[in-house]
Structures are given as C-alpha cells and as structure tokens.
Structure 1
C-alpha cells in the first residue's frame, strides 16, 4: 500500500503523462546553454533543452538518470560524476553487453532499477531514492517528475550539435564546466582532425555506407548519418526524414548497393554473408562488413564516445590515409582522460570488437 504522499505523487505522474505531450512537444530548439545567476547561495540555475529554467542544489550528490540510461550515464562518466548515479541500469541494459557501464561505475549493479521491461518508470522507487536532480530525455518523464517536486533537467539529442548543449548544461548543473569545456574541445579537435584528411576527396569518390541491423533491415536514429559523413563516407540513408528507426526492403539495399556495411554486433556479420539476397552488393563481394564497437554505449548510437566512432569509421573507410591512427591508443587515452579509468588490453579488444566476453 502506497503512503499518501507517494499516492499523490503517483497521481500527478499519471496526469502528467496525459498532459505533457501537448506542453513539451512545442519546446523551442535549444541554443548552447550556459549557467545563469544563482538564486541563492544554496542553489544554481540552468536553462535546459526545453527552454526551462531549472533550479538545482548548488551541491548535487544524488542523480537519477531516466530514459536512455546508458546514454545519460555516459555524460556523467565523462564529467567524472558517475559515482553520483543513484539508480541502477534500466531493465533493457541488464545484460553482459553493457559491461562497460558497471566497469566504470561498479555500484550500479546494486542500485534499484527504475525502469521495467516496457521502460516505464517506477515512481515509488524514484521517490525513495530521493535524488537531488533527475536527468532525462523523455518529456513525459520530465513533467511527471516536476509534479512530484523533483528538479528535472531535460536533455535532447536530435542532432550532433545537441551533444555540446547537453554537455554545457550538465557541466553547469554539476559545477564541472572546466571538464565540460575540455570534452568539447576534444570533440571539435577530433572531428576537425578527421575532416582535414578526407576533405580533399571528391564526393563521388567517397564510399557509400549503410549502418543497419540485417535481421530487421532497420537503421537506428539519424545520428548514424552524421558520424558516417563526418568520417568521410556517404550514408545511403541520409536525407530520409525520420526521428527514430527507419525500415526498408532488401530491394532498397540492392538499389543503394553500399560499398561498406556496418552492423551492430559481430554475430550480425555472418547474417549478412548468409543472406543470398545481399550477395551481389559491393560490400559483400569485397568483404567489407564490419561490426560497430561497443563501450559505454553502442558507438553507432548516441554516446559521448562519438568522436571515437568517427575516428574508427574513418580508419575503416580510408585505411591507407589513417594507417598511423591506433584505435587502441585512442580508446585508452579517451578512457583515461574522461572516464578516469585505465583499460587493460583485453578491455580495449572487447570494446573495439563489440564482444561482451
């Protein structure tokens, strides 16, 4: 039986789920944010990605990450604040595939789980966690938590520029602006470093690339188009309007006829080679099928490891031009610098191959 306060909060949450899509869907596109003047000596304020002024404690000790938990956690890892995550990984991430999350923050393995199989949020558990702030990418969640009296910072990741705005916002919330700026400098420097190499290559000479799941014939999220093109490739799915996954047919893949295919896991490579319908594509004929690495998150999805994704992809697309780049060294340095973790050689192999064990 829920206590009265929890029942009221839960009712507020249900009402919010019904109302918030109207209130939040019209949120303006966010510009890069910075801290604004503190309200008191005990608080600080920030404008989040929904354009809301959010007041949070000046000292944040407990953070709940709700929605795409591993994505949000990776931001906190990069800011050196992973130890403050109060909840465990969501249900969908309770597998060996997400081993890096618990390697970087071992306490996550014993923390309460907020999100079940359908990714719904257990408000009773959240209220018991008593976080200083909730970080989420779900507008429905944000309004519900506000109604429960919890400070909520809403982040968004519609395009590559959002990663910078998100990092600035969290740098403000956690008083880690110097680390945030260090990461953003690394991000820009790495992207420009890669771009300088392939920028001299004519557009039609750049490889056509498909990032997809061969089992479902889908490409997840528009971010894939960004990292493929930042690495000097031509994403065959670029220009297709979408907010989430897109689905297509084998016939469409044949029409695209990509030079390179990238799949989400090692076992999917064999799935491509076994599929006779794809046997005539250039990628299959030239044996250019690769599995995306997997660190704090899948590198092909939304992750603060995105600069590493671009480097890795550029080395795949142009092995001769990037032969001096050691991905092992790049990964080791990134994890030391931002995640404050010294990887073993085995750890690095597991990340770059995307193999959990």
Structure 2
C-alpha cells in the first residue's frame, strides 16, 4: 500500500512540474479587442491593421482616407509630377497633366510616364480618368476640377506651397503616401534642399536691404505676366539675395502693364523657362529704359525635367542658379553645371552629358 501511495505522489509532482514548464515565458492571452503588447505606443491615427486604409491630412487641411498601398496615381498638378518621378513613382502614374512634347526632359528621366494618360487642365476627361482606376489623385489646391475629382469616389489629395518650408512638407507628405523607398528619398531630398538653403543664406543674409538688387521674374511676354509675393518665386528671389520688384502684386502669373514695370525699374530681369526668349525682351525698345536692360542683366531661366523656377524638385537647383545670377561676385566658386549633373544623378537617377546640361541651363529641349 505504501508503495502505491509513493508512486501516486511522485506522479502528481511530475505533472505539476510539467504544467509550470509549459507556461514559462509566455504572456497570458489578452481579453478580446486588447493588444498583447504592454507598450501602448500606437497613436490614435495609426491603423492596427497595416494592410488597411489610413488617414492623412493634405495641404488644404482636409483629412483623406487612402489605401495602405498606392500602386496607381493620377497627378493633376504639373509641378508635382516631377516630385513623384523623383520619388520613384513614374511607373505608378496612370494619368498626368504632363505631355512629352512640352516636357520632354521629364519623360527622359521618368520613362514610365510614357504609359500615362495625358489629361487634366483644358484637356480634362473624367470618363477616361475613371477608366484608369487610380488609387489616389494629387492636385493643387487651386485646381478647378476638385469637385469633379472627388465625385469619382477616389481619394483626392490637395497640395500647394509658397515657401521652402511648405515645400519640404509637401515632399515628405508625398513620400509618406507613396511609401516604400519614397520615404527615404523624400528625406534625402529635403536634407539636400535644406543644406543648400542654409549655405546660400549664410552669404545672402548679410546683404543689407538697400544693397539687394530688384529682381523681376517674367512668366509671360505676351500678355505680360509676372510673379508677385506669396509665391515660391518670391521666396527664392529673397533667398538668392534679391528683392522681388513685383512684391506689391500678389500671387503667380499676374498680368501687369509696361508702365508698372518701368516704375519698378528692376536691376535684374529673369525670363521664365517657358515664358519666351530673354533676347527678345532685351532687344525690345519698350524695355530699353529699364536698368536691367541697360546693364545687360536679362537672363533666361533654366528648364529641365520641369521649370526650375516653378514649384518642382529642381527648386533646389534654382536657388543656387539664382544666387549666382543675382549676386555673381558672392558665388564665384559655385559651379551650376556640376551641381545639375550631380542632382540629376542622385535624385532623378539620370546621367546628364555636358551637352544636355548646357541645353537645360539655356531652357532648350533635348
């Protein structure tokens, strides 16, 4: 009898030890709806299911629910197409405001664009766009087709910036929406832009207000249009050490009279990359009395994958070109051709030849 009791006691002890061992190092199963993780680090804006939709706030302050993965893009803002291409999304663009005839450099560095539908603007075709089934539509906050786009039931993300601070936010937001490698590419671009802004402003911030040249940026010769304040153009003029001669005029591409230009009497005139020929302006007798013409300081703005002066990724090159153009004595060692080559290789994954660089610097097509 004693032997039987001893065997039973030994068996019970063995079972108890085995039970303890089976539960060692494991967390208890949480109640339904609670996380097994004790950290509690997830923010309210995060979606526990990483494959589900997510909500972002666009640059119009609107909350927009977008897919976890964005594979097909429609981009209605001309300038933003270059940012999307820079972030590696040219093959994702199924509809674009661009066309190869007008922007051949962009199609050269972003060959995936060749498969995209050219629409938006005056050629906007809602039915054709719907057939492309984009996951998301990018557009500027001033786009006249926003309501039509929203009627599609496809997420519409509105974008806009008038300063370099806002531009960096736009690039970051775009990278976050695209996901994957685009996040790191956006951060790298913003670091480059910030570095160039800092190095240029370290020089130009020392220029007294009275010594800053008056700069006029012409966006069209006929009709005569200029860029005023509250624009990225106004921002890069100031960064480069100038003052916007048309600062009294607000916004982009504002029509003005020759009398206004004569009254402003700019020291430097920059003709936009698609605004017309700078030589035409310089030889026009109507402009002959203006200081910039008399001093031979009328310049053609470079234009590459997009217009350097207008809201695209090449704003990072524009600030350098503008600084050297407006204040050449302060930036003698700045080699714009070399910077352009390096930029295209690093951010647009394209090796420019010397001939191609010169064409971009003089706003010529490939």
Q: Please, what TM-score do these two structures have when normalized by structure 1?
A: 0.82
Q: 1:81 matched to which residue of 2?
A: 89
Q: What is the rounded CA distance, in whole Å, between the counterparts of 1:342 and 1:335 in structure 2?
A: 7
Change in 2 beyond 3 A, CA 1:115/1:293: same
Q: What does residue 340 of structure 1 align with? A: 349
After TM superposition, give the deviation of residue 94 of structure 1 in Å.
4.8
Equivalent residue for 1:249, pick from 235, 252, 257? 257
**Separation in structure 2 between the aligned mates of residue 148 and residue 115 of structure 1, nearest angstrom:** 14
Question: Offset at 1:243?
Answer: 3.2
Q: What is the match of residue 211 of structure 2? A: 205
Say whether residues 1:301 and 2:313 are aligned partners: no
**Of 292, 303, 327, which residue of structure 1 is paired with 2:301?**
292
- Corresponding residue for 2:284? 275
Which of 218, 222, 226 is the matching residue for 1:215? 222
Change in Cα spacing, 1:281 to 1:146, as seen in structure 2 (3 Å) is closer
TM-score by length of 2: 0.80
Deviation at 1:260, TM superposition (A): 0.9
Alignment of 1:109-124 (within 5 A): 109-115=114-120, 118-119=122-123, 121-124=124-127
**What's the secondary structure of 2:289's corresponding residue?**
coil
For 2:8, the equivalent position in structure 1 comes to: none
Q: Matched residue of 2:270: which SS? A: strand
1:37 to 39, 46, 69: 46
Higher relative contact order (CA 8 A, sep 6+): 1
Which segment drifts farther, 216-225 or 296-305? Answer: 216-225
Cα deviations across residues 157-178 of structure 1 (Å, max 9, x unaligned)?
Answer: 2443321221121111111322
The corresponding residue for 1:132 is: 135
Separation (CA, whole Å) in 2 of partners of 1:88 and 1:108:
8
Counterpart for residue 67 of structure 2: 57
Residues 122-161 of structure 1 aligned to structure 2 (within 5 Å): 122-138=125-141, 140-161=144-165
How much is the aligned-residue C-alpha RMSD, in angstroms? 2.3
1:322 Cα deviation from its structure 2 partner: 0.9
Aligned to 1:100: 105
Q: Is the 8 A contact 2:162 2:235 kept in 1?
A: no
In the other structure, the counterpart of 1:25 is none
Q: How many Å separate the matches in 2 of 1:105 and 1:79?
A: 10
Q: Are the equivalent residues in 2 in contact too, given 1:87–1:111 (CA < 8 A)?
A: yes
Task: Provide, for residues 74-114 of structure 1, a one-character-per-residue CA deviation record: whole Å limited to 9, x for no partner.
Answer: 11122122221112544xx452x411111012232343222
CA distance in 1, matches of 2:161, 2:145: 16
1:110-130 CA-to-partner distances (Å, cap 9, x unmatched) read 4322236x24x2111111111
- Residues 80 and 338, structure 1, Cα contact 8 Å, conserved in 2: no
Following superposition, the deviation at residue 348 of structure 1 comes to 1.1
5+ unaligned residues in a row in structure 1: which ranges?
1-33
Alpha-carbon distance between aligned partners in 1 of 2:272 and 2:285, rounded to the nearest angstrom: 20
User: Post-superposition shift, 1:333?
Assistant: 1.3
Following superposition, the deviation at residue 352 of structure 1 comes to 0.8
Cα pair 2:56 2:64 within 8 Å, conserved = yes
> How far did residue 312 of structure 1 move?
0.1
Check whether the contact 1:328–1:348 (CA below 8 A) recurs between aligned residues. yes
Query: How has the CA–CA distance of structure 1 residues 99 and 322 changed in structure 2, closer, same or farther, with 3 Å as cutoff?
Result: same
Following the alignment from structure 1 to structure 2, what is the Cα–Cα distance between the partners of residues 36 and 296? 36
Structure 1: distance between partners of 2:74 and 2:346: 24
1:260–1:35 Cα change, 3 Å: farther
Partners of 1:127 and 1:315 lie apart in 2 by: 46
Could you say which structure has the larger radius of gyration? 2
* SS across alignment from 2:237: helix
Match of 1:232 among 228, 241, 257: 241
1:174 is matched with 178
2:267 is aligned to 259
Counterparts of 2:205 and 2:146, CA distance in 1: 41
| Length, aligned pairs only | 316
Q: Determine if the alignment matches structure 1 residue 195 to structure 2 residue 201.
A: yes
